[in-house]
Amino acid sequence: MQELDQIFNKLWQQYTNESPEALKIYNLFKARGEEDIVNDHVAFRTFDDPRVNVDKLGAFFEALGYHACGEYEFKVKKLFAKHYEHKSDPTMPKVFISQLKTKEFSPFLQEHAQACVDKITEAKLASPDLLYSGIHWELDYEVYQKLLAESEYAAWMYVFGFRANHFTVFINYLKTFNSVEEVNQFLKDNQLTLNVAGGEIKGTPVELLEQSSTMANKVPVKFKQGTFDVLNSYYEFARRYPDQSGNLYQGFIAASADKIFESTNVGLR
């Protein structure tokens, strides 16, 4: 478990360094005195290139005790995703990995996605360090803007590369909150902006999963033309309900995840 803990620690350090608002929210929960934050899931984005696709990133987790569970299609955003669960420890975060189906986009996007992956060394591709290795290429603001016009997801991947896209607070394990509504109110009381695409709460108790998220914040990013502000990451909150067998449902709802993806949408901010 040590190697796995190390990977999640590195991912958390990187996530909170690059998304200071997530650390602020984490500390707001901790400041209540009774909360130990358990992560419901950690989400990754990638391209469908076999060198870095869902199966490739998922294999790093499979080697450390995880197994692949649900599969998800996002037709409009042109994404495919899988989630992975730890085989023996239910308090280990689930891992949600999505990939952009690049072949359904322009030759420009396909060429740039491939050129990005071409820059990653063989050694890095073979190591779980890849998961938090960031970008391996020089950033061009014109390329970013062209990618953004086609796919928010592609533009995010181009700028931030390999890292956790977001962590997710597992509301069931919180001691001082009993609902997503209470968590959302707490966030709003602390001047945080929620993603309202599809409503503040995505999913219902009947679907066995309710989720909410903050909107991504802008951070300065260095491009070859200079420094520009780019939307980076959000923090997510999930409450799960027991299924007919009495176990907490562990899957994901594609329609809800579809709206959560929009937490990094430029137009919604």
Stretch that binds Ni ion, among 65-73, 130-138, 140-148, 233-241 (CB under 5 A): 233-241
Residue 88 corresponds to which amino acid?
S
Residue 128 DSSP one-character state: G
Show the tokens assigned to 193: 């902006």
What is d(CA 79, CA 45) in angstroms, rounded to the nearest whole number?
Answer: 10
Closest CA to 201 of 210, 190, 192: 210
H/E stretch holding 95 reads strand 94-100
48 vs 236, beta carbon nearer Ni ion = 236
Q: Are 193 and 218 in contact (CB under 8 A)?
A: no
For the packed helices 20-30 and 2-18, what is the interaxial angle rounded to 10 degrees? 110
Of the residues 42, 43, 92, 171, which one makes contact with Ni ion according to CB under 5 A:
43
**Tally of CB atoms within 10 A around 76:** 7
Stretch that binds Ni ion, among 139-147, 151-159, 178-186, 232-240 (CB under 5 A): 232-240
43 vs 180, beta carbon nearer Ni ion = 43
Nearest distance from C-beta of residue 242 to Ni ion, angstroms: 20
# residues near Ni ion by CB under 5 A: 2
Of the residues 49, 236, 258, 262, which one makes contact with Ni ion according to CB under 5 A:
236
Stretch that binds Ni ion, among 36-44, 53-61, 64-72, 98-106 (CB under 5 A): 36-44
Nearest distance from C-beta of residue 260 to Ni ion, angstroms: 5
Using CB under 5 A as the criterion, which residues of the chain lie in contact with Ni ion when the complex forms? 43, 236
